[in-house]
Structures are given as structure tokens and as C-alpha cells.
Amino acid sequence: MNPVATGTAPLVADPARLQDHIDAFAALSEPDSGPGVTRLAYTALERQAHAVFTRWMTDLGLRVWTDAAGNTLAERSGTNPDLPALGAGSHLDSVPNAGAYDGIAGVVAAMETARLFAEADIEHAFPIRFVAFAAEEGARFGQACTGSRIVAGLTGPDDLESKSDAQGVTLAEAMRSVGFAPHEVARARWQSADWAAFLELHIEQGSVLESTGTPVGIVDQISGSTRIMIEITGRASHTGGTPMHLRADSMTAAAEVVLLAESLANDTRHRGTRISVGKMEASPGSITTIAGRTRLYVDVRDIDSDRQRLTVAELVERAKSLCERRNVTFAATALADASPVILPRRLRDTVASTCTDLQIDYRVLPSGASHDSQMINHVVPTGLIFVPSRDGISHSPVEWTSADELATGTSVLAAGLLALDQQMRPHATA
């Protein structure tokens, strides 16, 4: 049972229905792509997932539209048409071989909230907009949160033309291929005056909630992330014919850079910094040829923005001198950069008191992963609600959150929206 305080009869979020939605979205996966869900940003499959969201919200009587960035919005009218909107939502795309919950959990929670409100005929003064963001995952183009960055005015046409996937398809081309016009994305921009507050529900992607037996997390800070591509160029030559002392091996230099990154992150001055090299490409990529060129993709995350940028600068500086010593050339290219965000105290307090009202335990915690919340908080005050991730695992087919845990989080989301609706009303309409 997951009661939602409404002032009248309690509403009950339905775990089975949430699970049905999760399963339906999980079925929309690239065939022959291996285990788990593969539904990348700006693909036909991502659009199919948005169509499922559209159909559900339309059937509940909401007004639904898709913006120039591919985000889908569904509005339930409030009783006061002059008020700005309250919002809730998350994203529907995935990384390759993902689980079924990252992003999707927040969208199905929004879908269930819309159903609860429709079936109980809940009245709210503010319009409520449920949002499915497009292209949140950075896996395809190296930049995360494209849909929410666009609405927040943090990215535009030039940026969309300059970022491309492994096949050389630019973000702009990918957007065009699914029917959007990248040069018109400014039209998707949100105005602060149109929005009162926003709540995103997301899986934790860490193990704090599970290990402490806490059903709900309320996020206070979201890490920033700087992503760079390091290209090391040596000389390709025969592995048998080239003596060790005559090599210019880009791969061994790359290996040293990977370990340098790890030791920098573990340095006590950098406590809280996370550096990862999640992808490396050696060329020509043959077992009998010394790698002439190696590219490393580095992700630096921190909740301290100064430390985030200083760490990147130090890594680049030291990797560069390491490459000089090894007689290979070094180049670094910035791929993406997002600052850490402190989410507004007021929304954290509202979600916390909602949990207390519903007698649901919670704890306040930071988020190491980026989220749409981080971007839209530039335009609308945003709160981020976490539900537990089994073993803390995410971006993997084994990612899992129980339907009951999801229902508990959904209850907090639904009641949180109604609490905001009460709290934020101007006096005249209270």
C-alpha cells in the first residue's frame, strides 16, 4: 500500500502497473544488440518509447506535445490558468546494453502519477506537466542531457552540429533523421516564468539506499562532469620486427595515463573526485602491430566545481609530460563540461516533509551521476528523488529496482507535487 495524501481518500500507486510499463519500455530494444536494453538517443526506438508515453497521457485526457528537441510534454490543467507549471519526469533513452530502469523509472512514475490524479479526479491549482526528456544519455554523442540542456538554453545548433557518434553521425543529423529540426531548438527553450517547480524520480545508481535500508533518497548535490578525449600518437610497426627500445607505442603510454588518472582521483587532495577511462580505441587495432594511435575517453566528476576543473588541468599536464618522456605525441580535446549543481533547499524540504507525512524513511545524499534535473534546475527549481538500485548497479542489464520500491517512490512524487501545489499557491487562490 502506498497512500498518497490528498486531503480526501488516499491514492495507491500500483506496483503491478508500474512493472507493466517498465516491461513494455524494456521490450523496445535494438534487436541483436546483446543483453539488456539498447535504445540510444535520437533513434527510431527512442521515438517509439515517446509514442508509448504520448498514448498513455493522451488516453488520460492530458494535452500532449513534442518540442523541437524531441522532449514530450503532457499537461494536466490546473484550476488557475494564470499559474506557472509544476513538472515531473525523466528520460526514455538508454546506454548500450542498459537495464530497464535508468530514466524509465521516473517516466513510469510520472505515468502512474497522471493515472492516480485522473482516476481520483484530483484538482490542483497549478498545471502539472509530465515530461519525457530526449537524449539524456551521453553514450552515443559524448554529451549527456541533450534534451534538457536544450530546454535550459545550455546547448544550441552549433553544438549539435559539432558532436558526433562513433559512426560520424552528428547530433544534428541524428535529430533530423527522427524528424526534428536542430536549427530550431531555441523554440524548445523553457522560460522560468512558465515553471514553478519540477521533481524528477530516478534510480540511485549507487548503493547508499540499499545498504542503509532506506526507501527514498533526496538529492542535495549533483556532481559536475568534464569529458575529454586524449589522443596519443606514436608509430605503428611490426610487433616482431621492432626492438623494444625503438618503439613509439601509443598503447603503453595510454596505459600509463589510465593509471595516472586513477592515482590522481585517489590522491587525498582529490577526495570525492571520480576519474574514469571508460573507452579506449587503439589503431590500427591488430595483435601483430604496435598501436600507432590510441584514443582515451576520460570522464572526471566532482561535486566541487573548482576541484573538477583543476583535476582535469592536472591530468592533462601530467599526461602530456608522460607522453613526451615516452616519445609519443599528446593531444586533448574537450568533449563536454557540466558544472556541479546544488539543488534548492526548499524543494528538498518539501519532499522530506512529504516522506514524513507518508511515514516513509528518507535520507539526503549527493548524486555522482548527471541527470536532467541538473540542467533544468537552471530554469526551474528542481528536486531529485532517488529509489534504491539493487547492489548499486546501473548501466548494466542487471540494473534492478523492485516494483514496490518504485511504487513507494511514485507515492512520494505524486504527494510531493500536490504538496507543492498547496504550498506555492498565491494567497488569493489558497
Question: Interface residues with Zn ion (CB under 5 A)?
Answer: 102-103
- Cβ proximity to Zn ion: between 92 and 415 the closer is 92
Helices (H), 268-359: 305-325, 345-357
- Cβ proximity to Zn ion: between 103 and 416 the closer is 103
**SS3 label, residue 373:** helix
Smallest gap from Cβ 405 to Zn ion, in A, equals 16
- Cβ proximity to Zn ion: between 102 and 405 the closer is 102
Smallest gap from Cβ 224 to Zn ion, in A, equals 16
Distance from C-alpha of 418 to C-alpha of 400, rounded to nearest angstrom: 28
359: which residues sit within 8 A by CB, 6+ positions away?
A: none
Smallest gap from Cβ 253 to Zn ion, in A, equals 34
Smallest gap from Cβ 229 to Zn ion, in A, equals 23
Which secondary-structure segment (H or E) carries 226? Answer: strand 224-233
| CA dist 31 → 97, 176, 252 (Å) | 11, 23, 36
For residue 12, the Cα-to-chain-centroid distance in whole angstroms is 28
- Cβ proximity to Zn ion: between 354 and 370 the closer is 370
Smallest gap from Cβ 202 to Zn ion, in A, equals 6
- Cβ proximity to Zn ion: between 103 and 409 the closer is 103
- Cβ proximity to Zn ion: between 93 and 112 the closer is 93
427: which residues sit within 8 A by CB, 6+ positions away?
A: none
| CA dist 164 → 154, 168, 169, 238, 399 (Å) | 18, 5, 5, 32, 28
Smallest gap from Cβ 136 to Zn ion, in A, equals 5
Burial of residue 397 (CB within 10 Å: 0-12, 13-18, 19+) is middle
Cα angle: 338, vertex 339, 345; to 5 degrees: 130
Using an 8 Å Cβ cutoff, are 367 and 395 in contact? no
Reading phi first (left if > 0) and then psi (alpha if -120 to 50, else beta), residue 36 is in left
Which secondary-structure segment (H or E) carries 38? Answer: none
Smallest gap from Cβ 104 to Zn ion, in A, equals 9
Peptide linkage before 366 cis (omega within 30 of 0):
no
User: Nearest residue to Zn ion, using CB?
Assistant: 103
Using an 8 Å Cβ cutoff, are 42 and 171 in contact? yes
Smallest gap from Cβ 88 to Zn ion, in A, equals 15
- Cβ proximity to Zn ion: between 46 and 102 the closer is 102
- Cβ proximity to Zn ion: between 252 and 370 the closer is 370
Would you give the DSSP letter of residue 65? E
Smallest gap from Cβ 94 to Zn ion, in A, equals 9
- Cβ proximity to Zn ion: between 10 and 366 the closer is 366
